[in-house]
Amino acid sequence: MANRRDFFKVAAIGSAAILAQGCSSISQNSKTMKLKKQTKILFQGDSITDGRRNRNSQGNPNDISGLGIWYPLQATGNLLVKYPQADLQIYNRGISGHGVKHLQDRWQADCVDMKPDILSILIGVNDFWHRAKADRGYFGTADSYDKGYDQLLAETVKALPDTKLIICEPFILKTGAVNDDWYPAFDGYRAAARKLAKKYNATFVPFQQMFDDACKLAEAKYWLYDGVHPSLAGSQLMAEKWMQTCFGC
């Protein structure tokens, strides 16, 4: 077991002012996660996590092209600056088009075998979306999403009992591909993710309310260009929310 000296706090490394802005007080909060030397963080999910990442670089931690273009990249940049002494090892294994059943199929290789210290999952939008695409041959419901995700998480905590879990809320905005057909059905997927976060003692990142609030300031497509996938602004907002929720800064 690591002792207290193994943990890094932003407040402790603030010798260069730029390296510690805005985090020092909140990072003392025991609800936020602590980082020990070489903490391994794994991002898992669908296209929103994938972000066209370069598979050839996926074995290199903290690699710009290996992290894709969206929130895992921006969150990693943030973490690497805030905790430069921690020698963090951050990976992305999101795959575009995936839902819970796809994660189940590849979980051993793409999660369990990697032994992450922190595992962040964002999954759910395809579990709904693909119901409408006959060629996908998938007709899941919020209930089957709930059951499958529950099973996946049960396996995860059994195989990786020391891994800290982060469950990100799936989200949409009514623009582009998202029309009235998504409501209220999609709410059930969001509710299931929130319920499972509580059940498995995971940190829950409430993205939907964040995007709803953001739409008071700029139109939906400013944040999610097609209602599902983030713009640069939306992705940055996700990374900031993820950092604030999980690390208090």
Binding residue for its own copies, selected from 3, 4, 5, 16, defined by CB under 8 A: 16
List the structure tokens of 216: 């008071």
Residue type, 5: R
Rank residues 191 and 232 by Cβ distance to its own copies and give the closer one: 232
The two counts, helices (H) then strands (E), for the chain are 9, 7
* Distance of closest approach, residue 15 Cβ to its own copies, in angstroms: 6
Contacts of 105 (CB under 8 A, 6+ apart): none
13 binds its own copies (CB under 8 A): yes
Binding residue for its own copies, selected from 94, 241, 247, 248, defined by CB under 8 A: 241
213 binds its own copies (CB under 8 A): yes
237 binds its own copies (CB under 8 A): yes
If you compute the radius of gyration of the chain from its CA atoms, what whole number of angstroms results? 18
| Nearest-angstrom CA–CA distance, 240 and 237 | 5
Rank residues 3 and 15 by Cβ distance to its own copies and give the closer one: 15
Binding residue for its own copies, selected from 85, 108, 151, 179, defined by CB under 8 A: 85
233 binds its own copies (CB under 8 A): yes
18 binds its own copies (CB under 8 A): yes
* Distance of closest approach, residue 107 Cβ to its own copies, in angstroms: 27
* Distance of closest approach, residue 71 Cβ to its own copies, in angstroms: 10
Q: Which of residues 33-62 bind its own copies (CB under 8 A)?
A: 62
Binding residue for its own copies, selected from 6, 21, 136, 198, defined by CB under 8 A: 21
If residue 44 lies in a helix (H) or strand (E), which one and from where to where? strand 40-45
69 binds its own copies (CB under 8 A): yes
| Nearest-angstrom CA–CA distance, 147 and 223 | 30
Output the CA angle 79-7-32, nearest 5 degrees: 60
Q: How far is CA 84 from CA 23, 37, 43, 58, 69, in A?
A: 14, 10, 20, 21, 22
The answer to whether 231 and 223 are in contact (CB under 8 A) is yes
Interface positions with its own copies (CB under 8 A)? 13, 15-16, 18-19, 21-22, 62-65, 67, 69, 73-74, 76-78, 80-81, 84-85, 87, 210, 213-214, 216-218, 222, 231-233, 235-237, 239-241, 244
